[in-house]
Structure 1
Amino acid sequence: MGAGKVHRPDVDAPRGGSPATAPSGSGYGGDTGRPVVAVLCGDHRPNGMAKVEQEAEVRYANAEGLADALRGADALFVWDFLSTAVPDAWHAADRLRWLHIASAGVDPVLFPELRSSDVVLTNSRGVFDTPIAEYVLGVILAFAKDLMRSYDLQREKRWQHRETERVGGKRALVVGTGPIGRAIATTLRTAGMEVSGAGRSYRANDAHFGTVYPTDELSEHVGSADYVIAIAPLTEQTSGMFDRHVFRAMKNGARFINVGRGELAVTGDLIEALDTGQLGGAALDVFDNEPLPADSPLWTMPHVLVSPHMSGDVVGWRDSLVEIFVDNFTRWAAGEPLRNVVDKDLGYVPTGTSRV
């Protein structure tokens, strides 16, 4: 692997958090003539890194050691994607060119210094699409068929006949029209549901959603949906988008499903909407404070399903995340376009693109 295929310090300025000069005799940050890759991994290193370890100097680090690992590093792999350690260690990123995060959401690393730098940011888009879509369909079926109540009655050894709801013909509004949102729409349509979407701008005749409404008009369109699914990326524009105003505009008895980010919803307003009966239930996989505190009323509220940020985590998901990074490392080392390049102004990979 040629050193110049990653970067040439004689023609490229460093793109990390601090100015630096290239070390003499090497096109990389290390002393071996190979690129240096820092990996933020906590106590558990990712498996499947043999190819990268053969081609690069790999520095595995936890949050406390990240700054040391970043000095002279050319790339950073954020394997511990829930960690908030990167902003605090950014001052040491004196040569960084590329940052890859092992998640679809990039909000843990999209801080102002990274936004303003020339460091290329990529994510792991594509791993979680189908699993999260299956999760959403699963919780919709659980609500419609009253499965949670059936389980409670079984434990009480009570034989209580009930009638349940149809799924076919129900209306779903998917808020967030990226790849995961499209997978959700396709899956729900297969179950016979009527699906529309909400995104940055209005679109008619969308292949996956039919109609896409602008999210800044969300309260005008949630009222027709039996299920509202939140899968939008977390940005300044989407933070707190599900507030008291939107919940009160929803159909009485509608269900709210959040598989995006906990910060998309104002938790107090959500609890109020559930407590008053405005919402008929909620399936929540993400929360603004994780783990969900033991004293949160969401744990024990009726018709609320709590899962610990696991809607996309199926058997083999960690291997898939490493495979995406290794593939991107191979492209990066060869000077080829990367997959899943994030627009740092938007906060996600623009629809219809995967490379630069």
Structure 2
Amino acid sequence: MYECLLHHETFSRLEARLKPFSDRISPVTVSDSGEIGRPWGEAACDALIAHGNADVWFSGAARAFGKYLYAADRLDFFQSSAAGLENPFLQKIGEKAQAYASSHVQSDAIADWVLWAGYDWFGNGAARRAAQAAKEWRNVHFREIQSTHWLIYGFGHIGEAVGRRLKGLGAHVTGVRRSDQVSPFADRIVHPNDVSADEIGQADAVLLCCPHTEETENLADADFFAAMKEGSLFSNVGRGALVDEAALLKALDAGRPAHATIDVTREEPLPADHPLWTHPGVTLTAHTSALTSESRKRNDELFLENLSAFLNGEPLRNLVDAKAFADQSV
């Protein structure tokens, strides 16, 4: 018998579908106030399995959830709703868990966020809103997405989801990744070491959706921004540490890039006095690009699928090699 640690809202959504496993799991719930619940009562359990999802990470339950995990003698299976592994908290979980599965089902939500950023910038959304606010009936010219060239760093699940949408709209897409495998969602694939200043300067939009590693720390620095085209858009849905934020602010003041739309920052939550909040060249969201009802549903389905597979000794989707945690731990 396993304890199964979940946020109480996740459990409420899935209780009926967890019932078939009632002879093998005993749910343990964590509320936003940190209260621990046992909705099916106490049971003698040998080890723990857990699901860490947006209900946990974006609520007051995170601290109590983490403490329960750390205190467990055995963590046999952990299902994460995140794709990345470099977060120190996830590193510790990955080192402890006998089996750790990640998730890529949020890629479509994040890709839609990127399209929103592109449409708003190239569609001259700020001028449209200003005209409405001023009650001015005037022409607002804009640029079609099909005329734009995008440079996407990190052409994995998220990058390809973005590329698929952009290619469908007729845009030109250059994907940056270590693998030279061709993709139907990119016109070109470039190795990170081969991205030149000229390559950056040809792009109307530069998107970062790669993981944070020693190699990608401050990838977007002063030289990077200086190479960007006038009028270009910079977007980051990867990790805040990919960007030298002081250099970004100076670059925005100099007009290269012309605008930045970012969903991740080096410090989260971002302090109220940070200039990214108020800079006129920045559109900022609070690490919420994956938070759609559809993404939540897909993560629920992935957890249930992997829970069944784990309990039945079958292969897990998105199982992470234990070496990944050893390689990234610091």
Match of 2:104 in 1: 125
Which of 81, 95, 98 does residue 74 from structure 2 map onto? 95
Q: Secondary structure at the match of 1:48?
A: helix
On the 8 A contact 1:254/1:279 being kept in 2, the answer is yes
The answer (yes or no) to whether the contact 2:109–2:295 under 8 Å persists in 1 is: no
Distance 1:112 1:103, change over 3 A: closer
1:35 aligns with 2:13: no
- Shift in Å at residue 309 of structure 1? 2.3
Bigger mean CA deviation after superposition, 213-222 or 264-273: 213-222
1:57 aligns with 2:26: yes
Query: Residues 260 and 149 (structure 1 numbering): CA distance in 2 closer, same or farther, change over 3 Å?
Result: same
Q: Deviations over 1:20-71 (max 9, x none)?
A: xxxxxxxxxxxxxx222223x38875521333352411122369678xx9x9
Task: Describe the superposition over 1:87-113 as per-residue Cα deviations: whole angstroms up to 9, x where unpaired.
Answer: 766653322121111233333366555
Residue 164 (structure 1) shift:
2.2
The answer to whether the aligner puts 1:321 opposite 2:299 as a matched pair is yes
Name whichever structure is richer in helix by fraction.
2
Cα deviation, residue 303, structure 1? 3.7
What displacement does 1:154 show?
1.3
Flag the 1:178–1:343 CA change in 2: closer, same or farther, 3 A: farther
Paired AA for residue 100 in structure 2: L
| Paired residue type of 1:189 | K
Q: Structure 1 CA distance, aligned partners of 2:206 and 2:93?
A: 33
Of 50, 54, 78, 2:52 maps to 78
Q: What's the counterpart of residue 314 of structure 2?
A: 336
C-alpha separation in 2, matches of 1:103 and 1:295 = 28
TM-score by length of 2: 0.81
2-structure distance, mates of 1:344, 1:158: 60
1:138 is displaced (CA, Å) by 2.1
- Partner of residue 276, structure 1: 254
Query: Cα distance 1:215–1:346, how it changes in 2: closer, same or farther (>3 A)?
Result: farther
Aligned length: 309
Q: 1:209 aligns with which of 178, 183, 186?
A: 186
- Taking a change above 3 Å as real, the CA distance of residues 224 and 42 of structure 1, as seen in their structure-2 partners, is farther
**Counterparts of 1:301 and 1:181 in 2: how far apart (Å)?**
27
Give the Cα–Cα distance (whole angstroms) in 2 for the partners of residues 98 and 247 of structure 1. 42
Q: CA separation in 1, counterparts of 2:215 and 2:68?
A: 27
User: Aligned pair in 2 of structure 1 residues 262, 84: CA closer, same or farther (>3 Å)?
Assistant: farther
Asked if the contact 2:122–2:145 (Cα under 8 Å) also holds between the matched residues in 1, the reply is yes
Match of 2:269 in 1: 291
Of the structure 1 ranges 79-88 and 318-327, higher mean CA displacement relative to structure 2 is found in 79-88
State the match for 2:85 in structure 1.
Answer: 106
Contact 2:154/2:211, CA 8 A, preserved across alignment? yes
Which residue identity does 1:232 align to in structure 2? C
Residue in 1 that maps onto 2:239: 261
Q: Percent identity?
A: 28
Where structure 1 has 5 or more consecutive residues not aligned to the other structure, the ranges are: 1-33, 348-356
Contact 1:124 1:340 in 2 (8 A): yes
Distance 1:324 1:314 in 2: 15
Report the 3-state secondary structure (helix = DSSP H, G, I; strand = E; otherwise coil) of the residue aligned with 2:216.
Answer: coil
Q: CA deviation at 1:204?
A: 6.2
CA deviations over 1:303-325 (Å, ceiling 9, x no partner): 42222322222234323322211
Q: Secondary structure at the match of 1:206?
A: coil
Whether the aligned pair in 1 keeps the contact of 2:211 and 2:239 (CA below 8 Å) is yes
How far apart in 1 are the matches of 2:151 and 2:303? Answer: 32
User: What are the superposed Cα offsets for residues 283-308 of structure 1, whole Å, 9 maximum, x if unpaired?
Assistant: 11222223333322223323422223
TM-score (norm 1): 0.76
Q: Give the corresponding residue for 1:223.
A: 201
Using the TM superposition, name which of 314-323 and 93-102 deviates more.
Answer: 314-323
